[in-house]
């Protein structure tokens, strides 16, 4: 699979966003914006990771949107002092950077080792 590093980072961001959204439900203060943004960011990252696992080639607009939504989610999470928000902001910043690298063509790719025939 090409873009394994990007795939891993985007997938991890998705999981972290969903974790943060769920953890925010237990917080006493209204965290509706954080929950909403984490949920949307998690969904977008999930979609991008699914498409990165295919050979589909026209993904740049979606990766650009993923970068944008991750940056927005990070800004919102950085306003809160909860550990889950800090983790989410960090994951989103990492994901936005990975998306930027993808868009610039700075990819870490994985070349599969040819299988031996028996």
Task: Identify the pLDDT of residue 114.
Answer: 37
Burial class (CB in 10 A: 0-12, 13-18, 19+), 76: buried
Q: Which CATH architecture has domain 4-104?
A: Up-down Bundle (1.20)
pLDDT, greater one: 67 or 28: 67
- 47: tokens are 């979609």
**Taking all residues of the chain, what is their mean pLDDT, rounded to a whole number?**
88
Give the pLDDT score at 3.
76
pLDDT in tens, 36-56: 999 999 999 999 999 998 888
Choice between 115 and 21, residue whose per-residue pLDDT is larger: 21
Residue 107 phi, psi dihedral angles, 5° rounding: -100, 145
The tokens describing 105, both together, are 């063509």
């Amino acid at each position: 699979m090409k873009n394994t590093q990007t795939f891993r980072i985007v997938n991890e961001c998705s999981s972290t966003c969903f974790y943060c959204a769920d953890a925010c439900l237990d917080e006493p203060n209204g965290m509706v914006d954080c929950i909403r943004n984490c949920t949307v960011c998690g969904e977008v990252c999930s979609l991008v990771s699914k498409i990165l696992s295919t050979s589909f080639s026209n993904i740049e607009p979606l990766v650009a949107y993923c970068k944008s939504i991750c940056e927005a989610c990070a800004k919102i999470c950085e306003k809160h002092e909860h550990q889950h928000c800090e983790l989410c902001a960090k994951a989103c910043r990492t994901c936005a950077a990975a998306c930027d690298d993808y868009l610039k063509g700075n990819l870490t790719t994985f070349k599969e080792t040819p299988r031996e025939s028996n």
